[in-house]
Amino acid sequence: MSFPGTSPMIDDTPQLQFEIPSDALYQFGQQQAFTTDGIRWQAALNQASLQALLPWVQEFAPNARLWTNSPALSSFWEVVNGGAIDFNGHRLVVIPTAAIDHSELRVPQEWVDLPSWAGDYYVSVSVNLDDDEIQVLGYATHQTLKQQGQYDSIDRTYHLDEAALIPDTNVIWIAQRLCPDEALRSELAPLPALSIEHAENLLTRLGTTVVVVPRLAVPFQQWGALLEHSGWRQRLYQRRLNLPEQWSVQQWLQSGISTLAEQFGWGTTEMQSNLAWARGSEIGSQKALLRQLSIAGKPYELRVFQKSDDVWRFELQSTSGALIPGGFKLRLLTEDLMPFENNEDVAINPIDCLYLEVRLNPGDALVWETEPLPENYDREILCF
């Protein structure tokens, strides 16, 4: 059976199988940093599963992509199992296991009850290490997990009997075609916001390997609110691995971009110095921070540079020579995601540049974002 407008054939095979390159798990384990070998191995299972399933999803939805930046995945897998693929406004959550017992699907609560993490489809994946093979066992919707799944408060997972899974993943694409308005998710209430002080207390408490399983060490609403803020999740990961500060703008300009920030796409460039002009001396050059972005399928760059001693300028420009479309926004928020006066620039009509200038004191921190969001956007806390 096939559908107009789709290239792949949907066959009668109920379960998908994929081969794992023999050295894929080993290579991933050597390249990524985690606090324990067990976490590193589980992360490798996640990586292999996502690598196997993403091309399959792209056969039916060419715009499918990993939910977040690849460099950000380690900060997820340090604390929770699972990964996600976004496609056509939907999310497919992949839950891998190397266990022999396939009698149930166990999904960490984060993937079910965090509004920004929750998926539409949850796929159970078995990783057979002896045969270097991945097998998709079946899937369930978010609504099925919430309505039929059993919640285990001990390890904070939802578990669903294997009999409740739909074994033929082709049904996902059939339903997408025939029932595009099908209700897939249960409603979720937003989690209460954390103050900066509360978040810092949690990071201090959980950012040590003395706390072996941080996701179970504090009430879920506090833990979930911490994880939903990508900048705080990254900071938790850095602290648990005892890494130096990775997001200090002053350190970037003085000593070079940190390893993690480079992986996220940050770099530096030389530009005309406004500082020199302001002091009445000859115009020179200064370093600016540069971040390459893809927004609505087009290339852009975000520049951050110091305009005067305490004023910093953020600029968003197209790198294709086109104007920024009307309706685009460049926005700055405080570390706890609060707006402030003149924190947003909006393109009322097509324009060549969006910019914001903000006065900052040493130790201040900001989060940048655009609207529409860039591809694979993951919040970053820039420290000044």
Please give the share of the chain, as a percent, with pLDDT higher than 70.
Answer: 90
Which residues, including other chains, have CB under 8 Å from residue 297's CB and lie 6 or more apart?
Answer: none
Q: What is the C-alpha separation between 25 and 35, in angstroms, rounded?
A: 17
**What is the amino acid identity at position 145?**
L
Count of other CB atoms within 10 angstroms of residue 379:
19
For the chain, give every domain's residue range.
Answer: 17-178, 196-240, 249-383
At 337, the pLDDT band (50, 70, 90 cuts) reads very high
Task: Note the pLDDT of residue 70.
Answer: 86
pLDDT over 80 (residue 183): yes
Specify the range with the lowest mean pLDDT, choosing from 120-134, 321-335, 350-364.
Answer: 120-134
Helix orientation angle between 24-31 and 37-60, rounded to the nearest 10 degrees: 120
Q: What is the C-alpha separation between 159 and 146, in angstroms, rounded?
A: 10
| pLDDT, tens only, 10-36 | 445 557 899 887 666 666 656 678 999
Task: Note the pLDDT of residue 14.
Answer: 59
Q: What is the C-alpha separation between 15 and 136, in angstroms, rounded?
A: 6
SS3 content of the chain, % helix, strand, coil (to 5): 30, 30, 40
Q: Are 65 and 85 in contact (CB under 8 A)?
A: yes
The H-or-E segment that residue 295 falls in is strand 285-295
Q: What is the C-alpha separation between 75 and 33, in angstroms, rounded?
A: 10
What size, in residues, is the chain? 384
β-bridge pairing 90-97 and 121-128: parallel
At 224, the pLDDT band (50, 70, 90 cuts) reads very high
**What is the amino acid identity at position 33?**
A
The closest alpha carbon to 52, from 104, 17, 25, 7, belongs to: 17
**What is the amino acid identity at position 347?**
A
> What are 44's two structure tokens?
């490798």
Q: pTM for the complete prediction?
A: 0.89
